[in-house]
Amino acid sequence: MSTVLEAKDLCKTYIVNKKQNNVLKNVNLKIEEGEMVAIMGPSGSGKSTLLYSISGMDRPTAGEVFFEGKQMDKLSDNELSDLRLKKMGFIFQQMYMMRNLSILDNVILPGIKAKQSGVSKKDIEERGRSLLRKFDVAQIADNDTSEASGGQLQRACIARSMINNPKIIFADEPTGALNRSASDEVMEELAKLNREDTTIMLVTHDVKVAAKCSRLLFIVDGNIKAEYNLGRYEANSNLRDRERSLSNWLMEQGW
């Protein structure tokens, strides 16, 4: 397994009302290819900030981030955009989509933008449709974004994140706005992707979600306090055991 993502002494500081707020303090981490890593921690501990800082969505205040060995914090805005477009996938809590595009067009948008020579728009459309089929939302492909349920939309967002065959998917509380059954469905899809060797890094508050990940990073006050290895969640894994052991570990950490 090779390292996909690595952060060294990562710091992120915000200045709010002339007060310095050190959200991330010298964070070090490595994400290996094929891992599914969950970041957990109390509110305000810096989970989302960590996700955005290492995914190139935001620039760290100090420290280094390496993606496939390339130092990301040295890249220009355009290079970062290209990296996000072609090598990364993103899923957000609020299932953001472009209001003026149909769901299918939203899914294939990054594909069309990143279009490689030799790949036709038709091929991209076909891939979009097959991804929607894969996540069981093909029936809403041509719908307006306001005409789908939250679970359907989030699955369409997963399809969008996959359109360019990314090296890694970043998900910020992907089930945060969903009910339990929709949340389970979405997590099953992400776990399935992970079993197909897609690297995933997600932020969650939910033990049930984290239990489907292979590793958990517990962050407190801008530092990774501890990490827990669960092993890959296979189709036949006992989810209840994983949840129980994870809960116990989290309680030990003061969760």
Interacting residues with other proteins (CB under 8 A): 48, 52, 56-58, 77-78, 81-86, 88, 90, 92, 94, 96-102, 104-105, 108-110, 112-114, 121-122, 124-125, 128, 142-147, 160, 172
CB nearer to other proteins: pick between 14 and 252:
14
Q: What single-letter DSSP state applies at residue 115?
A: -
Q: What single-letter DSSP state applies at residue 73?
A: G
Torsion over CA of 26, 224, 90 and 62, rounded to 10 degrees?
0
CB nearer to other proteins: pick between 101 and 207:
101
CB nearer to other proteins: pick between 137 and 250:
137
Q: What is the nearest approach in angstroms of other proteins to the Cβ of residue 229?
A: 28
Q: What is the nearest approach in angstroms of other proteins to the Cβ of residue 197?
A: 22
Q: How far apart are CA 253 and CA 198, in angstroms?
A: 29
CB nearer to other proteins: pick between 158 and 246:
158
Q: How far apart are CA 210 and CA 217, in angstroms?
A: 10
Q: How far apart are CA 195 and CA 98, in angstroms?
A: 30
Q: What is the nearest approach in angstroms of other proteins to the Cβ of residue 190?
A: 18
Q: What is the nearest approach in angstroms of other proteins to the Cβ of residue 220?
A: 20
Listed residue (26, 33, 31) closest to 9, CA to CA: 26
Q: What is the nearest approach in angstroms of other proteins to the Cβ of residue 175?
A: 16
CB nearer to other proteins: pick between 5 and 250:
5
CB nearer to other proteins: pick between 129 and 195:
129
CB nearer to other proteins: pick between 113 and 134:
113
Q: How far apart are CA 197 and CA 92, in angstroms?
A: 21
Q: What are the residues facing 5 on neighbouring strands?
A: 31, 67
C-beta of residue 54 within 8 angstroms of C-beta of residue 40: no
Query: CA quadruple 104, 95, 231, 38: dihedral positive or negative?
Result: positive
Q: What is the nearest approach in angstroms of other proteins to the Cβ of residue 207?
A: 23
Q: What is the nearest approach in angstroms of other proteins to the Cβ of residue 76?
A: 10
Q: How far apart are CA 163 and CA 146, in angstroms?
A: 21
Phi, psi of 254 (to 5 degrees): 90, 25
Report the run of H or E that residue 77 belongs to, with start and end.
helix 77-87
